[in-house]
Every structure is written in C-alpha cells, then in structure tokens.
Structure 1
Amino acid sequence: SGVEQPIPNLALSNGIRAAVLGWSKTLAAEVAGDGVTVNVVLPGRIETTRLAELDAANAARSGSSVEAVQKASIAAIPAGRYGRPEEFAAAVVFLASTQASYVTGTKLRVDGGATRAV
C-alpha cells in the first residue's frame, strides 16, 4: 500500500514500489492482447509472522508493549483488525482466475480500508 500512501522512513523502498507499479502498468498494456493480465495487489497489515516481528520491533523502539502497538495499528484500520492471510490469498486467486480475465493494469488494495487514497 506504500505505492499510494508512502510509508514514513522508507524512502528507498517507497521509490522502488513506485517503479514496480510503473513497470506493471506498462507491461499490462504490452501483453493484454495476448490474454495475459498484470495487476498489483497492495496488502495492508496482514496477520503474519513478519507483522508480529514488525510490531515487536516497533514496541521495543517506542518503549511500548506489543499489545499497545497492535492496538494503535488496529485503530488506524477501518475494518478494526488485521487481515488474515487467506483473505489476501483470495484476492490473489481471483486475479489469477479466468473470472478476472478482463481485469488488467489495476491495483487491488487488501487493507481493511486503511489506505485513504482516492
């Protein structure tokens, strides 16, 4: 989701995300006539081991408890919770299916409404 709403203190990563998005948009146009779709899935805070590591690191850095960090993160998500890996997977499976054969060059946010971009 950093493509639409840059993440603080990640200048290099934010720049690379934008480059990947530009590349994917260009590629989508180039291969659409061959029946190939190219889309970008923008995950929010999905409940994974990596997210637990990030929350623990943020807690250590701020002197807060992991629970306090999680509570603050969840408060910023309109859905009121972290996403589940299977919810993210379902979005990817849809885009890879024939049902999405006319969906190309798009960005799909799977973030519980956290990204406020238009």
Structure 2
Amino acid sequence: NKINQMITKKMIENKGMTSRIIDNGEIAIEIIKNDNIFDLVLMDVHLPGINGTIATQQIREFDEKTPIIALTAISLNENREMLLSFGMTDVITKPFEPETFYKVIAQTLEETSNS
C-alpha cells in the first residue's frame, strides 16, 4: 500500500540510496527488462496484477544477476524456501525491524559486488 511504500522509500533514502516505486508486477517486469539500471529489487510478494513471485520468475528469464529481495508478511520459517525457489535472492518479513532491513540489503549488495 502507499503508506508502506512511502515508509520503505524513506528508509532507503535515509541511507543515501535512491529508489523507484513501481505499483504492479507487469510494470516492474517491463522496467527491469528495458532499463536494467537497478542494483537491487525489493519485491513485494503481494503485488496487484502479477504477484511478486510470478514477476520474479519472469524477470529471472532475462536477468539472473540482479538481486531480488522478497518483502512479505508471511511466516519466514514456513515459506522462505518456497520464495527462494521462485528466484528471490533473500526474504525480509513485514513488519520488519530497520536493523534487519538494512542488514539484509547490505549483505545482498556485498555478496553481489563480490561475485
């Protein structure tokens, strides 16, 4: 929702990063495919239209490198492996602690830059 988008965007900007909010899975696929300018994607699992898991599967057909972190309210213990099987790089569960949010992003970017 718009409030969660604004909060997440502010958290990202507070760490000196830039972001772009994309409102649905179909547009996310097209922008990532055509622009290919992102260091990392935060993918809400419950997007309108094509959900985040299907969007990630389709992105992985043309982009295997860009890290995609799932944002979801589901139980991490029960569904982490399922989300990773769609091509997600990692998972952050909502509501998330800012420390955990930043740590997962930093670790993912570090791993990507080292590979």
TM > 0.5 between the two?
Answer: no
Greater share of residues in strand: 2
User: Could you say which structure has the greater relative contact order, defined with CA pairs below 8 angstroms and 6 or more residues apart?
Assistant: 1
Q: Which has the larger radius of gyration?
A: 1
